[in-house]
Chains A and B, each alone.
Chain A
Amino acid sequence: MPTIHLNNLIKRYGEVQVLHGVELELADNEFTVLVGPSGCGKSTTLRMVAGLEDVTEGEIFVDGKPVSHLEPKDRDLAMVFQDYALYPHMNVAQNISFALRLARRPKAEIDAKVKDVAATVGLTEFLHRKPGALSGGQRQRVAMARALAKDSSLFLFDEPLSNLDAKLRGQMRAELALMSQRVQKSMIYVTHDQIEAMTLADRIVVMNGGYVQQQGSPEELFKRPVNKFVAGFLGSPPMNFLSGEIQDRSGEIYITGQGFDLLIEGEKAQAARSHSDRTVTLGVRPSDLRFDEAAPKNKALSLDVTVSEYVGAQSVLLCQCGAANVMVELASETPVALGQTLNFAVNQNGVHLFDHQKETAL
């Protein structure tokens, strides 16, 4: 089982630099998810690990050995592509066994492996069908089976679920999680969907604009984002951001802005006190706002409800706080009417403060 080390990886297409020195250390049997918006360089990073893109500068080490000069076939990895990339002229069994046949394994071994893998992903009845006669979910399974059959020590996934409809995506996500527990291999998974990232990952790497923003466990990233981008990217609905000013009122730290005046306590207050710039961005997740009419003014936000999105047990309220939009998540049975101005208590542990200019967390 390999440990993978990306050392100062840089990628340029002509003059355009798309990766700016990516530095990553991935442990054994770890499920790593690269996540970020379109064009952030996550797919490029994955393709460089796969050997499908040249490395402009830097090096990829697998178990301490540099591999960036090797062909994909010499890197002992399997890959699932975003668009499945099944061989349309081969049936499912031939698709799954393609790598084994290229490696000239004995026929009995190939047959056994195909049967075994097909059973794992539930394709046994479809072995003689061509990919054209399969549904999207089944094609996805074939792609997965093809990767599994190779018995590689590293699995790469390039947005494998992005072409499926919402229901199937949830189902495949669960199957994928199950599969990753069972096979116990190192996996690198690229997605732009933060829910996939949160549910599947042992380690999340958030990327933006060709830079790694933050990496760590899903919980760590969710609770302690290092900057505004990571805070806004992870979590659904996304975190609310309000511009404010730090005010020190005889020892007590307040963040004051349009329509709010919030008392900050604990370590965040310490950080704010020592911060040189007076202007900051206040971040609060929708789930850290609790409907409470009796909450004291300096520990709550008072919001004008403009839209209520009913999503079942939970509702999402879109509110105004001064000129800023604020989203609130609350139980659907809470009696709320549009146009009302309501008081929402702020969970002190859920308060995030970011530098106004650099957008880094205080």
Chain B
Amino acid sequence: MSGAHKKQNSVFYVLIAVLVFMSVGPVLLMFVNSFKLDVDIIGGTTGLLFLPTIQNYETALCDILWYEPEHLDFCALKFGGSFINSLIIALISTGLTLVIGCMGAYALVRFRFMGRDTVSLTTLMVRMLPPAVLLVPVFGLWNNEFCLDKEGLIGGMIRESFGGRGDVCLAGTHSGIILIYVAMNLPFVIWILQSFIVQVPRSLEEAARVDGAGPFQVFFKVVLPLIKPGLAAAAIFTFRIAWNEYLLASALSDRDTKTVPILIVNNMSEFNVEWGVIMATGMLLAIPPIIFTLFASRQIITGMTAGAVKG
């Protein structure tokens, strides 16, 4: 072992250092710049010598701060609202995707039915479709087809309680975005979970059936706990995509439902790019996925099925 240690070339360390710099560098740059004034950022002073300020964060969070920042006379940026939109959309779409995904994957693995292999393959093929291709038809459908008449019973009720004009359509609602995210992520989640469910020994399910479990009890009490690592991996994946997604959300959200990525881009106008605020919102945007990933990755324990059956 020590021999192998000695052989390690210093070139490897240089390579690792470069890779680390490439991945951490931009984040570091964003972090540093989020504490600078715009003047410092675009002033060309590349040095690390500047007066740190939380002004950018104050601007970003102006709609949820308990005091009014001195440098602002009007709170234009609704970061708080967008943040909550992002959370709602990402969490609900992740939850839905996992629930539907694990059941779908289970059915594809365990049940025999006509066209099973085709369905299994198609789920992955759908994943190959670029979201941009989806955008146009979905935009049309969400705006014109999937609507409730404002004169109708439910549509009328919604218009009465929430206000607004026109028919009640999917476009511009949380549900509209959640729906498309679920559809987008489901194939991959089903595909990932299939490989986890295959590993659950069939005899475990049989033992549970003999022990008196019905089909749902077998699924929830035996299979589901065993594919927890798979669920966690799928959850991280789904949450990250839903959280970062820009293209579809930009087309399907309206002023009240827009997510953080869209808010950030909206900060750029032809007259002014508020670099400092963008950096600050970027930093804030990064926090939930980090927390979510740390939490979910703790569920990824290898060897969950160890000791179930003799190999």
Contact = CB atoms under 8 A, between A and B. Distances in A.
Interface of A: 50-52, 71-73, 77-79, 81-89, 98-99, 102-103, 130-134, 136, 139, 146, 150, 163
Given A85-B309, A88-B226, A88-B308, A79 B207 contact: yes
A88 B304 contact: yes
* Residue among A85, A102, A131, A139 with max Cβ neighbours from chain B (10 Å): A85
Interface residues of B, number: 24
A296 to B, nearest CB: 54
19 contacts: A52-B206, A73-B210, A79-B206, A79-B207, A83-B201, A83-B309, A84-B310, A85-B201, A85-B204, A86-B207, A86-B308, A87-B207, A87-B308, A88-B226, A88-B304, A99-B212, A102-B213, A139-B307, A146-B211
A50 B226 CA distance: 24
Nearest to A80: B207
A73 B222 contact: no
B154 to A, nearest CB: 40
* Residue among B204, B211, B217 with max Cβ neighbours from chain A (10 Å): B211
Contacts of B207: 79, 81, 85-87, 146
B212 A139 contact: no
A67 B153 CA distance: 52
B11 interface: no
Nearest to B203: A85
Interface in B194-217: 201, 203-204, 206-214, 217
Contacts of B225: 89
A11 to B, nearest CB: 17
Contact of A79 (B204, B210, B213, B304): B210
Given A83-B201, A87-B222, A50 B306 contact: no
Contacts of A87: 204, 207-208, 222, 308
Contact of A73 (B213, B226, B304, B308): B213
A343 B2 CA distance: 67
A85 B307 contact: no
Contacts of B305: 88
A86 B159 CA distance: 55
Contacts of B209: 51-52, 71-73
B303 interface: yes
Interface of B: 201, 203-204, 206-214, 217, 222, 225-226, 303-310
B208 A98 contact: yes
* Residue among A87, A130, A133, A136 with max Cβ neighbours from chain B (10 Å): A87
A84 B309 CA distance: 6
Which 4 interchain pairs have the tightest Cβ spacing? A132-B307, A83-B309, A131-B307, A99-B211
A126 to B, nearest CB: 12
A73 B212 contact: yes
Contacts of B214: 71, 73
Contacts of A82: 203
B310 A78 contact: no
A102 B203 contact: no
Given A85-B203, A89-B226, A102 B306 contact: no
B308 A78 contact: no
B206 A85 contact: yes
A150 B213 CA distance: 13
Contacts of A83: 201, 203, 308-310
B218 to A, nearest CB: 10
Contacts of B309: 81, 83-86
B308 A98 contact: no
Contacts of B222: 87
Nearest to B228: A89
Nearest to B202: A85
A87 to B, nearest CB: 6
B307 A88 contact: yes
Nearest to A147: B210
B244 to A, nearest CB: 33
B217 A102 contact: yes
Contacts of B306: 88, 132
Contacts of B201: 83, 85
A102 B212 contact: yes
A74 to B, nearest CB: 9
A89 B304 contact: yes
Contacts of A98: 208, 211
B211 A130 contact: no
A130 B301 CA distance: 15
Contacts of B203: 81-83, 85
B256 to A, nearest CB: 43
A102 B26 CA distance: 54
A71 B212 CA distance: 9
Nearest to A98: B211
Contacts of A88: 226, 304-308
Contacts of B308: 83-88, 131
Contacts of B206: 50, 52, 72, 79, 81, 85
Nearest to A130: B307
Contacts of A102: 211-213, 217
A326 to B, nearest CB: 38
Contact of B211 (A133, A139, A150): A150
Given A88-B304, A88-B307, A139-B307, 18 more contacts: A50-B210, A52-B210, A78-B210, A79-B206, A79-B207, A81-B207, A84-B309, A85-B206, A86-B309, A89-B304, A98-B211, A102-B212, A103-B212, A130-B307, A133-B307, A136-B310, A146-B207, A163-B310
A86 B206 CA distance: 11
